[in-house]
Structure 1
Amino acid sequence: MKQNLTTIGFDADDTLWQNEEFFRLTQDHFAALLSDYADPDHLSERLLQAERKNLGQYGFGIKGFVLSMIETAIEVTDKTVPATVISQIIEAGQEMLRHPIHLLPHAEETVGKLAERFKLVLITKGDLLHQEQKLAQSGLGEMFDAVEIVSDKTPQTYIRAFMRHGDGPDRAMMVGNSMKSDVVPAIDAGGWGVHVPARYEWEMEKADAPEGHPRFRVLKDLGALPSLLDALGL
């Protein structure tokens, strides 16, 4: 017996609104601040190493990114980084936290349209306070039936979320820009995984696509999601 889709999960950063672009701009500024100590490619590698190492302690988000930049600056300068540079790194992070939300194309219309037919759940990683602030600024909050701000996204994350807010993962779909966090674990949980690639992809969010899986789809943008659901008879 066919089980119809009842619940759709949406990622937030770089799915509904821009995010990674601001990280890239800040990283460029970071490279300029430390240009006397390291070339941009080497600095980028060192920063990525620091982020990877610190994820377990700091989690995802701007605050952990800033702490990793400071740690990298201290290391590449052999602990001689000027206090003025540390101050500018902190200011750059504060500017990121203050940056207004820029919705991605079709986000508002698509979420609003699907809210009439499905139970919608926002499932996002990151700092609790900042993610709540961004959702409030986005104007999309009222369209979601539930919000889950999580430390990581695993198959168990989606099983729990879709059991709590829906009819289980087999009757749910996750939509997001990250193959590693949004698509693959949602499919492994038993749901649908829809990839909507963003302009920029964080190195730590890369993963192989589950090509050939019957519940995997790729869309060029969120505007194509309602038509996909109609075509699949969901």
Structure 2
Amino acid sequence: MVRKLTTIGFDADDTLWHNERFFKLTQARFEELLSDYTDASVLHDRLLEAERRNIGHYGFGVKGFVLSMIETAIDVTEGQVPGHVIRHILDAGQEMLAHPIELLPHAAETVATLAGHYRIVLITKGDLLHQERKLAQSGLGELFDDVAIVSEKSVQTYRTAFAAEHGGPERAMMVGNSMRSDIVPAVEAGSWGVHVPHDLEWDLEHASAPESPRFQTIQDLGELPALVAKIG
């Protein structure tokens, strides 16, 4: 009997390990640093606008976040931001880049369980060096048959990752926490999309769930092996 699934793709940040919590903590520090110039809600909106505007220039990840914070600090202070505030922002970014990896519950055992039976692919976006470092620190690197670190996740991203020689998108599954990046484009490519919600989500990753029988939701990665077995 032909198996329905041959490839399983995993997102990295906030699917296999914590990520957004460090952005939220740094943003709280950023709001404290600039509290004399504007209130937190205004600063939040201005920073989000800068991040959205700068994605095409800097991509995703800590470095782009830091540059957007610096730009926002200059803008809200009308160019009067003190040098020590810029220094604090840079220090916060370096701390984020150096923070040790914290795996999410069931991540290691689930990937290890499925790796013996399926082609396992990591598909993540962000800064190349930082993502490579996080994967190395995670201890999961050897479990993946392929790793794709991309600037953006699109339908074509999944068509390429789940190419015909590996069974094609129709026999692949993408697992991730972001509806916009991990689920919607994967389902549009013809794959299964399995959403694993995370308590924290970046505002720019919000999207509506796809209306498709190939869309599934699980509460944590511990439920994934049973779902994979059910699909076949």
Equivalent residue number for residue 67 of structure 1: 67
In the alignment, what sits opposite 1:130?
130
- Cα distance in 2 for partners of 1:6, 1:151 equals 25
Q: Deviations over 1:64-106 (max 9, x none)?
A: 0000000000000000000000000000000000000000000
Letter in 1 for 2:28: D
Using the alignment, how far apart are the partners of 2:165 and 2:91 within structure 1?
A: 39
CA deviation after TM superposition for structure 1 residue 210, in Å: 1.2
1-side partners of 2:164 and 2:43: how far apart?
A: 43
| Structure 1 SS opposite 2:163 | helix
Secondary structure of the 1:186 match is helix
Q: Report what 1:228 is aligned to.
A: 227
Where does the alignment leave 5 or more consecutive residues of structure 1 unmatched? none
Q: Which residue of 2 aligns with 1:16?
A: 16
Distance 1:45 1:164 in 2: 43
Deviations 1:116-151 (A, max 9, x none): 110000000000000000000000000000000000
Query: Within the alignment, does 1:54 sit opposite 2:22 as a pair?
Result: no
Q: Distance in 2 between matches of 1:197 and 1:124?
A: 16
State the alpha-carbon separation in 1 of the partners of residues 159 and 131 from structure 2: 22
Question: 1:163–1:134: structure 2 CA closer, same or farther, 3 Å change rule?
Answer: same
**Is 1:205 the equivalent of 2:196?**
no
Of stretches 107-116 and 159-168 in structure 1, the one that deviates more from structure 2 is 159-168
CA distance in 1, matches of 2:230, 2:9: 19
> Aligned residue for 1:216?
215
Q: Give the Cα separation in 2 of the matches to 1:133 and 1:147.
A: 13
Residue of structure 2 in register with 1:76 after alignment: 76
Query: How high is the TM-score relative to the length of structure 2?
Result: 0.98
Specify whether residues 46 and 7 from structure 1 end up closer, same or farther in structure 2 by C-alpha distance, changes over 3 A only. same
Alpha-carbon distance change, 227 to 3 in structure 1, aligned in 2, over 3 angstroms? closer
CA apart distance, 1:199: 1.1
Q: Counterparts of 2:224 and 2:51 in 1: how far apart (Å)? A: 33
Cα deviation code 1:25-49 (max 9, x no counterpart): 0000000000000111110000000
Which position in structure 2 is the counterpart of 1:44?
44
Aligned residue in 1 for 2:176: 176
- The one-letter code matched in structure 2 to 1:93 is G
The TM-score with structure 1 as length reference comes to 0.97
Residue 197 of structure 1 aligns to a residue in which SS? coil
Shift of 1:167: 1.7
Identity level (%): 66
* Structure 2 counterpart of 1:217, one-letter code: Q
Provide closer, same or farther for how the CA distance between residues 151 and 162 of structure 1 changes in structure 2, counting only shifts above 3 A: same
* CA deviation after TM superposition for structure 1 residue 204, in Å: 0.4
Aligned residues: 232
What is the root-mean-square deviation in Å for CA atoms of aligned residues?
Answer: 1.2
Spell out structure 1 runs of 4+ moving beyond 3 A. none
* Partner Cα distance (2:168, 2:157) in 1: 12
The CA distance in 1 between the partners of 2:146 and 2:154, in whole Å, is 18
Pairwise CA distance, 1:230: 1.8
Deviation at 1:166, TM superposition (A): 2.1
Following the alignment from structure 1 to structure 2, what is the Cα–Cα distance between the partners of residues 121 and 12?
10
What secondary structure does 2:162 align onto? helix
